[in-house]
A and B are shown apart, each in its own frame.
Chain A
Amino acid sequence: MLDSTLLRRVSSLPFQKLNDEVLVVDPRTREVHLLNLTATRIWDLLEHPSTPAALLAVLREEFDAPDEALRADIRTLLAELGAKGLVGPEAGTDDHFAEGAEGSAPPKTRRP
Chain B
Amino acid sequence: MLSVGGVVGRLELGVAPGPFLEQLRERYHPYTVPASEWVSSEFVLRVTFTAAAPVVDGHTRAGEVAAHPLRVEESDDQIRIGRWDFRALLSPMPNTTTTTTTMERGPPPSSRPQARWVGDVWCQMNPFAFDSLLRVVWAVFLPRSGGALFHACALRLGEAGVIFPGQSGAGKSTLARKVEEQERILTDELVAVSRGAMGQWRISGTPFWGEFQRGGGSIRSWPLNNIAFLEQAETLAVGSVSAAEATLRLLGCFLCFQTDADTAARNLAIAVDLCTEVNAVALRTRRDTPIADVEMTLAPYLPDRSRRDHPPTPREMISEFRWMLMQSKQYAYKPQGSSMRPWLRAGDALFIQTVGEAELATGDILLYWTPGPTADEDRLTCHRLVARLGAGAASAGEQKFKFFMKGDALSSIEAFENGRQSEILGRVSAVSRNGKAVPMPGRLGNLARLVGSLVATPLLKMAGR
The listed residue (A14, A19, A26) touching B242 by CB distance below 8 A is A19
A-side residues, CB < 8 A to B, are 12-16, 18-19, 21, 23, 25-28, 30, 32, 34, 97, 107, 109-112
* Cβ contacts A to B, 21 pairs, < 8 Å: A12-B261, A13-B261, A14-B265, A16-B247, A16-B272, A18-B243, A18-B272, A18-B275, A23-B248, A23-B268, A23-B272, A25-B268, A27-B258, A27-B263, A32-B248, A32-B251, A110-B255, A110-B257, A112-B136, A112-B139, A112-B208
The listed residue (A30, A32, A34, A109) touching B69 by CB distance below 8 A is A109
- Is there an interface contact between A34 and B245, defined as CB atoms closer than 8 Å? yes
B59 CB to closest chain A CB (Å) equals: 19
The listed residue (A18, A21, A27, A111) touching B259 by CB distance below 8 A is A27
CA distance A12 to B265 in the complex (A): 10
CA distance A23 to B69 in the complex (A): 28
- Is there an interface contact between A34 and B248, defined as CB atoms closer than 8 Å? yes
Question: Which residue of chain B has the shortest Cβ distance to A15 in the bound complex?
Answer: B268
> Which 6 pairs, one residue from A and one from B, show the smallest C-beta to C-beta distance?
A14-B265, A27-B264, A112-B135, A18-B244, A21-B244, A25-B264
Per-residue CB contact flags for chain B residues 256-281 toward chain A (1 = under 8 Å, else 0) read: 11111101110111001001100000
B302 CB-CB contact with A under 8 Å: no
- Residues from chain B with a CB closer than 8 A to the CB of A25 are 251, 264-265, 267-268
B392 CB to closest chain A CB (Å) equals: 39
Total A-B residue pairs with C-beta atoms closer than 8 Å?
69
B132 CB-CB contact with A under 8 Å: yes
- Residues from chain B with a CB closer than 8 A to the CB of A28 are 259
Q: A18-B242, A23-B244, A112-B131 are in contact. List 12 more A-B contacts (CB 8 A).
A: A14-B261, A16-B269, A16-B272, A25-B251, A25-B264, A27-B258, A27-B260, A107-B259, A109-B70, A109-B257, A110-B257, A111-B70
CA distance A26 to B275 in the complex (A): 19
CA distance A34 to B246 in the complex (A): 10
Question: Which residue of chain A has the shortest Cβ distance to B269 in the bound complex?
Answer: A16
- Is there an interface contact between A18 and B247, defined as CB atoms closer than 8 Å? yes
- Is there an interface contact between B69 and A112, defined as CB atoms closer than 8 Å? no
- Is there an interface contact between A16 and B70, defined as CB atoms closer than 8 Å? no
A39 CB to closest chain B CB (Å) equals: 12
B310 CB to closest chain A CB (Å) equals: 33
B252 CB-CB contact with A under 8 Å: yes
CA distance A21 to B208 in the complex (A): 34
- Residues from chain A with a CB closer than 8 A to the CB of B244 are 18-19, 21, 23, 34
B248 CB to closest chain A CB (Å) equals: 5
A84 CB to closest chain B CB (Å) equals: 14
CA distance A107 to B247 in the complex (A): 20
Question: Which residue of chain B has the shortest Cβ distance to A30 in the bound complex?
Answer: B259
- Residues from chain B with a CB closer than 8 A to the CB of A111 are 70, 132
Question: Which residue of chain B has the shortest Cβ distance to A32 in the bound complex?
Answer: B251
A29 CB to closest chain B CB (Å) equals: 9
CA distance A112 to B140 in the complex (A): 12
Per-residue CB contact flags for chain B residues 60-97 toward chain A (1 = under 8 Å, else 0) read: 00000000011000000000000000000000000000
CA distance A8 to B139 in the complex (A): 33
- Residues from chain A with a CB closer than 8 A to the CB of B265 are 14, 25
CA distance A107 to B195 in the complex (A): 29
- Residues from chain A with a CB closer than 8 A to the CB of B261 are 12-14, 27, 97
CA distance A26 to B255 in the complex (A): 15
CA distance A107 to B261 in the complex (A): 13
- Residues from chain A with a CB closer than 8 A to the CB of B258 are 27
- Residues from chain A with a CB closer than 8 A to the CB of B70 are 109, 111-112
B129 CB to closest chain A CB (Å) equals: 10
B13 CB to closest chain A CB (Å) equals: 19
CA distance A30 to B208 in the complex (A): 23
Question: Which residue of chain A has the shortest Cβ distance to B139 in the bound complex?
Answer: A112
B45 CB to closest chain A CB (Å) equals: 16
- Residues from chain B with a CB closer than 8 A to the CB of A110 are 255-257
A19 CB to closest chain B CB (Å) equals: 7
- Residues from chain A with a CB closer than 8 A to the CB of B264 are 14, 25-27
CA distance A14 to B267 in the complex (A): 10
